[in-house]
Structure 1
Amino acid sequence: MKKSWIAHGHRYTAPILLITVYVLFIIPALFCAQVEAQDDVYDPLTLDKVWEYTKVDNEATFWKLAWSFEGDMVAATFFDNKCVVLSASNGSVIKELDFNSGRGSRCDGFSPEGTNPLRACAFSPDGKYLAVGGDDMEVIVLNVTTWERKYTLLGHTGSILSLDFSPDGRYLASGSGRDKVIPQNAGENITRIWDMEDGSEVIALEGHSDGVLGVKWSYSGDKIATASDDRTVRIWSFPQGELIHNMEGHTTGLLDVDWSPDDSKLITGSRDYKIKVWNTSTGTLLSTWGDNNCVRSVDVHPNGELAATSGVDLTLKIRDMDTGTQLRVIKDGVAQNAMVMSSRWSPDGSALASGLGKSHTVIMYKFGVGTFKEEEDVGLRTMVILILISIVFLILLYYPVIKKIKKRRG
Structure 2
Amino acid sequence: MSRWGVYVHVPWCRVICPYCAFAVIRDRARPDRPAAFDAWADGIARELALRRPEFPGEAETVYLGGGTPSRLPIPVIARVVGLFPRIADAEVTAEVNPEDVSDGWLADLVAAGVNRVSMGVQSFQPRHLARLRRPSPVDALRAVSSAGLRSWSADLIFGLPDGTLEELDDDLDRLLAADPPHVSVYGLTIEEGTPFAREAARGRLQPADDDLWRAMYDRLVERLGAAGLERYEVSNFARPGHESRHNQGYWQDRPCLALGPSAHGLAPDGARWVNHAELDTWLAAADPTAEREPPDPDRQARDHLISGLRAREGVDLDALAGRFGRAPDSAAVDRLVKAGFLDHTGGRVRLVGEGWPLADAVVARVIDALRPTSG
Same fold (TM over 0.5): no
Higher helix share: 2
Whichever of the two has the greater Rg, that structure is: 1
| TM-score, normalised via structure 2 length | 0.29
| TM-score, normalised via structure 1 length | 0.27
Higher strand share: 1
